[in-house]
Amino acid sequence: MSMKIPFFNNKHSEESLYYPEDNTPNHIAIIMDGNGRWAGKRGMVRAAGHKEGVSTVVKIVNAAVKCKVKVLTLYTFSKENWKRPKTEIDFILRLPKEFLQIYLPELISNNVRIEVIGDMENLPTYTREAVQYAIDRTVDNDGLQMNIALNYGSRHEILHAMKEMITDINNAKLSLDELDERQFSGYLYTAGMKDPDLLIRTGGEKRLSNFLLWQLAYTEFWFTDVLWPDFTEKEFLLAVEEYRKRKRRFGGI
């Protein structure tokens, strides 16, 4: 069985692409890079790029819903982003509240369920309250799961998981002899989720930037020079189409 989704060529005429449901990536992770450079090219402050990037999030979430992707993980704010100017940090951390105030009804109507991965304790109260409200409002939705990676760093995640695992071993809740990769994965922020099938990074950089290092072990990567505010549904579909052409062997033949 196949499904039909819209696709636009360079002349913006509507065509069709068919994605077999068994070959569509179940979990897509995106490093949304290039907001600041997008603004700089237009003589605007960096905050303007971040704000424009929010509208791109909505477009790509809608595209993922059409493609019947099950999980979409968006790298929103990293542990390293605290090194940026305070005014920019404050603006970025207020965006989830602004984004959800405007778009939460649309996300709910699309049956999207919102989750957050990352260290929430050190985030401002207004950020935590906004995302928790969205989590609570969408908890019963069973469509696309949108993971917002906030104050996230993969090395911190792995270290935190190891500490919790060691505590459980010391308390005889876990046997060291029986510990395997599956059990360790259960201590990560992504516990219970399948690893990403496809990673998309916009903005021209070709690195992981401390994002999902454990989970991306066998993920297919797709990089584009397109800056995140300019990233369109067409670009997203091109990434999905490229994924379909690849043969994943997982170390086999």
Cα–Cα distances (Å) from 52 to 9, 145, 151, 162, 209, in that order, read 23, 23, 20, 38, 22
Catalytic-labelled residue, pool 81, 110, 147, 151: 81
Class of domain 26-153+196-242: alpha beta
- pTM above threshold 0.95: no
Catalytic-labelled residue, pool 22, 23, 33, 136: 33
**pLDDT at res. 22:** 61
pLDDT (tens digit, 9 = 90+) per residue, 214-240? Answer: 999 999 999 999 999 999 999 999 999
Question: Residue 65 and residue 72: Cα distance in Å, rounded?
Answer: 9
Residue 26 falls in the annotated catalytic set: no
Question: Residue 133 and residue 22: Cα distance in Å, rounded?
Answer: 34
Residue 36 assigned ligand-binding role? yes
Q: What's the pLDDT band for 248 if we cut at 50, 70, 90? A: confident
Q: Which residues of 64-86 are buried (b: 16+ CB within 10 A; e: fewer)?
A: bbbbebbbbbbbbbbbebeeeee
Residue 207 assigned ligand-binding role? yes
Residue 62 falls in the annotated catalytic set: no
Residue 63 has pLDDT above 70, yes or no: yes
Residue 34 assigned ligand-binding role? yes
Question: Residue 137 and residue 84: Cα distance in Å, rounded?
Answer: 32
